[in-house]
Every structure is written in C-alpha cells, then in structure tokens.
Homo-oligomer: A and B are copies of this chain.
Amino acid sequence: MSAKRTPRPVSDDERAFLAAYDASAFPHPSVAVDVATLTVADRALRVLLVRRGEHPAKGRWALPGGFVGMHESLDDAAARVLRTKAGLAGIFLEQLYTFGRVDRDPRTRVLSVAYYALVDAARLARALPDTGETSLARLEVPWKGDAGGPVRAKDDTGAALPLAFDHAEILGVVVRRLRGKVDYAPLGFQLLPQRFTLRQLQETHEAILGRRLNKDSFRRSVVARGLVAPTGETEKDMPYRPAELYRYARPEGG
C-alpha cells in the first residue's frame, strides 16, 4: 500500500478553510491496531498471544496491540507493535480487517485495525523470551464451510485460553483470510525458513487449511507454476532418504 503522495494545487480559498478547521469539533472513536502473529509448528497453526497485565481484561490473553499515533500510518503502527511487543521486524505484515462494534472495549469507543504477520517458527522462538506472559496458542478451526465465527485458542496442554475483547472473532477472520489466500498468494513461504522441503510446504498449507492435501497434486502444481526452485542441497541427519531443499521463486518478473 505504498502510494506516492501527489501534490495538489491549493487555492487561497482552501488555505483559509484549512487554517480555520477545528479538528476537535466533535468526539471521535479511539483507534488501535492489533497484530495476529502466526506461525506453523507441530503441523498446527499457532498465534502469539500476550497475557494482559493491566485492565481491562486483566489476566486474559490478547493479541499484542497499541493505539495509533497521530503521526504514524496504520502500517507503521502495526510494525511498531510487532517490533516492540514481539521483537520482530522485517517480516510479512498485512492489514486484515477493522473491527468497530460499539461495545467491543469497556473503556470507551475503540476501533481496532487488525493486522496479521507471518513468521517461521524458529525465528519466532528466537525472538520470544519465555516469560510465561506470552503463549504460542494452537488454533484449531474445524472446516465447516464458510460459516466462520469465533475461534478457540488452546495451549499445549489442550486447555482453552480465555481471550480478551473480540480477539476470538479477529482470529476467526484471520484464519478464513489465510485459507482463501493460500492457494494463490505466497503465504506458505513466509511461514518457513528460506530453504525448505516440499513436504514442509505441504504440511504448512495443510495446517492453514485444516485438511490433508494430495501429495502428488501438490508437488506438481507447485513446481508447474514455478513457485519454487530447487537449491541442489538436501536436508541432513534424516533417518531416511533426505529430501531436496527448495527456495521460493517469484513466478516470472521478480
């Protein structure tokens, strides 16, 4: 979304209008960004949650978030949240949806512009201090067509984590978005290290989609579309035949 600013001639008339404009003439909702940082580990889709130490919803689990400053763009605000609250920078980050129910925050009217980020599991594990105040929750979303609705996040013991605000709804939207995009957008590569096997890529897609895929069809489709390029290397220390390592290849014109 990096659009160039196109300077526009401003008349004296308009200049006078702008000088007289009172931005605080009537109250506006507050605006926050919330970032769902996703990864795939143990064949499951996971999301980074932080335990809230402050009111409201103190003690519950929530997506990292923060209010939007007056002089930063939405994309910049989301990147700032991701950097300061998860220690991650330079990874895939895209706007998801804006949640605007009137009573979604008990403090006051707060809109949430939700973003989602994709990282490979190893990098996320390195970035995260294991303080107990963060969790990499499993997202288990049955297929059930397009119905959607909120999602349950579980820790590794299988216990459901209580989520703050409408964050369960946000997670439902993000999973459906990923499922819709994974077939044509290079999402899986963002969830893997630079070199990966085709099996890893397939398992990543399966974790997103919540269902198994046909092995041969998946491999043929991926290589026929030129999405991946072989590196010549193979994985190491496998107790069976090692697979070739591939890398992401932009399909023509990168």
Interface residues of A (CB under 8 A from B): 1, 3, 5, 8, 10, 13-14, 17-18, 21, 23-24, 26-31, 55-58, 67-68, 70-75, 77, 95, 97-103, 106-109, 111, 113, 145, 149-150, 166, 169, 253
Contact = CB atoms under 8 A, between A and B. Distances in A.
A106 B100 CA distance: 25
Given A28-B29, A150-B3, A169-B3, A98 B74 contact: yes
Contacts of A149: 3
Given A17-B56, A55-B14, A30 B30 contact: no
18 contacts: A3-B149, A3-B150, A8-B57, A13-B58, A14-B55, A14-B58, A18-B56, A21-B107, A23-B30, A23-B108, A28-B29, A28-B30, A28-B67, A28-B70, A73-B101, A74-B99, A75-B100, A95-B98
B73 A3 contact: no
A196 B153 CA distance: 44
